[in-house]
Amino acid sequence: MLSPQMSASRKLAIPVQAAAFALLCFASASTIQGQAVAETAGANSVSASVASSIKPPTMPKFPGTGSGASSSASSASSSSPHLIASAGPPAEETNRKSLEATAGKDAGKILLRATPVEAQIWVNGKIVGKTPLLLVVAPGKYQIEMRGSRGQTGRRSVDLLPRETRELAVKLDQLYPGRVAAAAH
């Protein structure tokens, strides 16, 4: 059927094809490997340049909280990423005292009341206490805001004359309605 010469060429064709395939894989492997190395180097150099341009986050420096604390305790507290609670008076007390300290000899008085009671009082954007409150302040114009515990608010503007005493009673407006009625048709 088949001549011996054809049979030998078929036997030889299979190893030649296998050798060609192996040679092709070897040649392309080094090319692929070179491509991978080039991409990795490019990615690393870009990553390195981006990473070097990023500034580390800055943490605020806080003073030590305790007097007579050991140096390791104070250095640990200043390097802490957490906020440290103030050991001083509350902000509302500090703001109120600041207003009263600048009142001078012609100071006026404002008696602040709100409905409902116990509303927070903000004067010119700074918290000063809760209602009812008597403030001794310098004459001038003040923006008063009161905030209730359930989101109620009230805003007024007060122009206080020298040695004037004024009462400011504010009915706080509800942020949301107290009742909702639905009617079916």
pLDDT exceeds cutoff 60 at 75: no
Q: How far apart are CA 106 and CA 163, in angstroms?
A: 5
pTM, rounded to two decimals: 0.51
Degrees to nearest 5, angle at CA 129 with 128 and 135: 65
Domain identity same for 167 and 106: yes
Domain identity same for 95 and 162: yes
Domain identity same for 95 and 150: yes
For 138, residues 6+ apart whose C-beta sits below 8 A from its C-beta are 99, 102, 103, 104, 106, 107, 108
Q: Is the dihedral of CA 75, 76, 81, 85 positive or negative?
A: negative
Domain count, the chain: 2
Domain identity same for 47 and 112: no
Question: Is the residue at 75 inside a domain?
Answer: no
Domain identity same for 49 and 95: no
pLDDT tens-digit profile of 121-146?
A: 999 999 999 999 999 999 999 999 99
Least confident range of 19-23, 24-28, 48-52, 82-86: 48-52
Question: Is the residue at 105 inside a domain?
Answer: yes
Q: Give the mean pLDDT of 77-93.
A: 73
Question: Is the residue at 7 inside a domain?
Answer: yes
Q: Give the mean pLDDT of 156-170.
A: 94
CATH code assigned at 95 = 2.60.40.1120
Label residue 41 by pLDDT band (50, 70, 90). Answer: low
Question: Is the residue at 84 inside a domain?
Answer: no
Question: Is the residue at 64 inside a domain?
Answer: no
Label residue 151 by pLDDT band (50, 70, 90). Answer: confident
Q: Give the mean pLDDT of 153-179.
A: 89
Q: What is the predicted pLDDT for the residue at 150?
A: 86
Domain identity same for 163 and 108: yes
Domain identity same for 97 and 154: yes
Q: Give the mean pLDDT of 31-56.
A: 61
Q: What is the predicted pLDDT for the residue at 101?
A: 92
Q: Please give the residue that has the higher pLDDT: either 55 or 136.
A: 136
Domain identity same for 106 and 153: yes
Task: Tell me which residue range forms the domain holding 165.
Answer: 91-171
Of the candidates 178, 156, 176, 152, the one whose C-alpha atom is nearest the C-alpha of residue 166 is 156
Question: Is the residue at 21 inside a domain?
Answer: yes
Question: Is the residue at 103 inside a domain?
Answer: yes
Question: Is the residue at 121 inside a domain?
Answer: yes
